[in-house]
Amino acid sequence: MAVLTDRPAAAPARRNERAARTLATRFLGYATLVFFGLVFLYPFVIQIGNALKTEPDAAANPLSPFPDPLTLAGFERIFAGTNFPLWLGNSLLVTVLVTIGRVFFDSLAGYALARLRFRGRSGLFAAVIAVMAVPGVVLLIPKFLVLNQLGLYNSYAGLVVPLLADAAGVFIMKQFFESIPVSVEEAARIDGASIFRTFWSVVLPMAKPALITLTILSFQSSWNEFPHSLVSVQDPDLFTLPRGLADLVSGSLGKGTQYPLKLGAALLATIPVAIIFVVFQRYFVRDANDGSDKG
Amino acid sequence: MATETLTAVATAGGAGPRRSRGGIRSNENLAGWLFVAPVIVILGLFLLLPILMALWVSLTDWNGQGSPFTGNVPFVGAHNYTQLFTEDGLARRDFMTSIRNNIYYVAIVVPAQTVLALGLALVVNNRMLKGKSFFRSAFYFPSVTSSVAISVVFLFLFANSGAVNALLGFVGIDGPEWFADSRGVLHLLFGAVGVDSPPAALTDGGPFGLTWWDWLAGPSVAMISIITLVVWTTSGTFMLMFLAGLQNVPVTLDEASNLDGASRWQRFRYVTLPMIRPTMFLVLTLGMIGSWQVFDQVYVMSQGDPAKTTLTPAYLSYRTAFADFDYGSGAAISFVLFLIIIVLTLIQRRALAERDTDRPRRGWWRRRVPERS
CB A87 within 8 A of CB A266: no
Q: For residue B24, is pLDDT > 70?
A: no
In this prediction, residue B363 carries a pLDDT of: 38
> What is the average per-residue pLDDT within B171-196?
79
Q: What is the pLDDT of residues B65-97, one digit of tens each?
A: 777 777 777 777 788 888 778 878 788 889 989
B contact test, residue of A46, A145, A222 with most B CBs within 10 A = A145
Q: Which residue of A has its CA nearest to B235?
A: A40
Question: Tell me, what's the pLDDT at A112?
Answer: 92
Nearest CB partner across the interface for B57, out of A36, A145, A273: A145
Q: Would you call A273 and B145 a contact, using CB atoms and an 8 Å cutoff?
A: yes
Residue B364 has pLDDT above 60, yes or no: no
pLDDT band at B22 (very low <50, low <70, confident <90, very high): very low
Closest CA to A154 of A239, A248, A247: A239
Say what the pLDDT of residue A287 is: 55
CA distance B18 to B4: 19
Q: Contact at 8 Å (CB) between B341 and B226?
A: no
Give the Å distances, CA to CA, from B268 to B112, B119, B228, B282, B371: 19, 11, 27, 19, 22
The residues, any chain, with a CB within 8 Å of residue B344's CB and separated by 6 or more, are B285, B288, B289, B292
For B285, residues 6+ apart whose C-beta sits below 8 A from its C-beta are B344, B345, B347, B348, B351
Q: Is A86 on the interface with B (CB under 8 A)?
A: no
Dihedral pair phi/psi, residue B60, rounded to 5°: -125, 180
Pick the residue of A138, A173, A200, A267 with the most B CBs within 10 A to test the interface with B by mutation. Answer: A138
> CB distance from A119 to chain B under 8 Å?
yes
Distances (CA, A) of A96 to A168, A200, A206, A280: 19, 21, 23, 18
Which residues, including other chains, have CB under 8 Å from residue B306's CB and lie 6 or more apart?
B179, B180, B181, B182, B220, B222
Question: Can you give chain A as a three-state secondary structure string?
Answer: CHHHHHCCCCCHHHHHHHHHHHHHHHHHHHHHHHHHHHHHHHHHHHHHHHHCCCHHHHHHCCCCCCCCCCCCHHHHHHHHHCCHHHHHHHHHHHHHHHHHHHHHHHHHHHHHHHHCCCCCHHHHHHHHHHHHCCCHHHHHHHHHHHHHHCCCCCCHHHHHHHHCCCHHHHHHHHHHHHCCCHHHHHHHHHCCCCHHHHHHHHHHHHCHHHHHHHHHHHHHHHHHCCHHHHHHCCCHHHCCHHHHHHHHHHCCCCCCCCHHHHHHHHHHHHHHHHHHHHHCHHHHHHHHHHHHHCC
What whole-number distance in Å separates Cα of residue B258 and Cα of residue B274? 16
Classify burial at A223, counting beta carbons within 10 Å of its beta carbon; exposed 0-12, middle 13-18, buried 19 or more: buried
Residue B372 has pLDDT above 50, yes or no: no
The answer to whether the beta carbons of residues B305 and B222 sit under 8 Å apart is yes
Neighbours of B5 (CB within 10 A): 10
Could you tell me the pTM of the whole model?
A: 0.84
Residue B278: per-residue pLDDT: 84
pLDDT value at B15 more than 50 = no
pLDDT at position A223 is 94
- Overall average pLDDT of the B91-106 stretch: 91
Is the model's pLDDT at B354 over the cut of 70? Answer: no
Reported as a pLDDT band with limits 50, 70 and 90, residue B200 is low
Report the residue of chain B nearest A133, measured CA to CA: B345
Looking at residue B370, its pLDDT comes to 36
Whether pLDDT at B367 is above 70: no
Contact yes or no for A109 and B321 at CB 8 A: no
A222-277 pLDDT tens trace:
999 999 999 999 888 999 999 999 988 876 555 457 888 899 999 999 999 999 99
Q: What is the pLDDT of residues A161-206, one digit of tens each?
A: 999 999 989 999 999 999 888 888 888 888 888 888 888 888 899 8
3-state secondary structure of B84: helix
Q: Tell me the C-alpha to C-alpha distance, in Å, between residue B50 and each of A31, A111, A148, B28.
A: 51, 27, 11, 31
Residue of B nearest to A259 (CA): B156
In the structure, what pLDDT confidence band is assigned to residue A286 with cuts at 50, 70 and 90?
Answer: low
Distance CA B26, CA B18 (A): 7
Confidence of residue A35 (pLDDT cuts 50, 70, 90): very high
Residue of chain B with shortest Cα separation from A48: B153
What local confidence, expressed as pLDDT, does residue A58 receive? Answer: 83
pLDDT tens for A83-101 read 899 999 999 999 999 999 9
pLDDT at B315: 94
CB-based burial of residue A37 (10 Å sphere; 0-12 exposed, 13-18 middle, 19+ buried)? middle
Q: Which of B153, B163, B293 sits opposite A266 (nearest CB)?
A: B153
Q: How confident is the model at residue B18 (pLDDT cuts 50, 70, 90)?
A: very low
Q: What is the reported pLDDT for A24?
A: 83
pLDDT value at B323 more than 50 = yes
Chain A residues in contact with B317 (beta carbon < 8 A): 138, 140-141
Model pLDDT, residue B355: 56
Check residue B142 and give its pLDDT.
Answer: 93
- pLDDT, residue A73, reads 82
CB contact under 8 A, A226 and B3: no
Sign of CA dihedral A138, B107, B137, A5: positive
pLDDT at B357: 54
Most confident range (mean pLDDT) of B18-22, B98-102, B261-265, B305-309 is B98-102
Residue B239 has pLDDT above 90, yes or no: yes
Average pLDDT for B218-238? 92
> Is the predicted pLDDT of residue A145 greater than 80, yes or no?
yes
Residues B236, A289, A270: CA angle, nearest 5 degrees: 45
CB-based contact, A161 to chain B, within 8 Å: yes
State residue A10's pLDDT score. Answer: 53
Residues of B in contact with A196 (CB under 8 A): 31
Which chain B residues contact residue A29 at CB under 8 A? 123, 126, 128-129
| Minimum-distance CB partner of A118 among B33, B49, B162 | B33
- Mean pLDDT to the nearest integer, B179-187: 79
Query: For the segment A40-84, what is each residue's pLDDT rounded down to a tens digit?
Result: 999 999 999 988 988 888 888 888 888 888 888 888 888 888 889
Which has the higher per-residue pLDDT, B354 or B234? B234
Are A213 and B282 spatial neighbours (Cβ–Cβ below 8 Å)? no
Q: How far apart are CA A240 and CA A225, in angstroms?
A: 9
Residue B60's SS3 state is: strand
Q: Is B209 left (phi over 0), alpha (psi -120 to 50) or beta?
A: left
Q: Among residues 98-117 of chain A, which lie with CB inside 8 Å of chain B?
A: 105-106, 108-109, 111-113, 116-117
Q: By percentage, how much of chain A surpasses pLDDT 70? A: 90
CB A29 within 8 A of CB B155: no
Residues of chain A with Cβ-Cβ distance to B126 below 8 Å are: 25, 29
Mean pLDDT of chain B: 80
Residues 130-159, chain A, touching B (beta carbon < 8 A): 131, 133-146, 149-150
The answer to whether the Cβ–Cβ distance between B356 and A295 falls below 8 Å is: yes
pLDDT of A47 reads: 92
Highest mean pLDDT among A111-115, A134-138, B109-113: B109-113
Residue of B nearest to A47 (CA): B153
Question: Shortest CA distance to A29 belongs to which of B236, B188, B132, B218?
Answer: B132
pLDDT recorded at residue A132: 81
CB–CB of A144 and B137 under 8 A?
no
For residues B259 and A9, is the Cβ–Cβ distance under 8 A? no
Q: Per-residue pLDDT averaged across A8-27, rounded?
A: 74
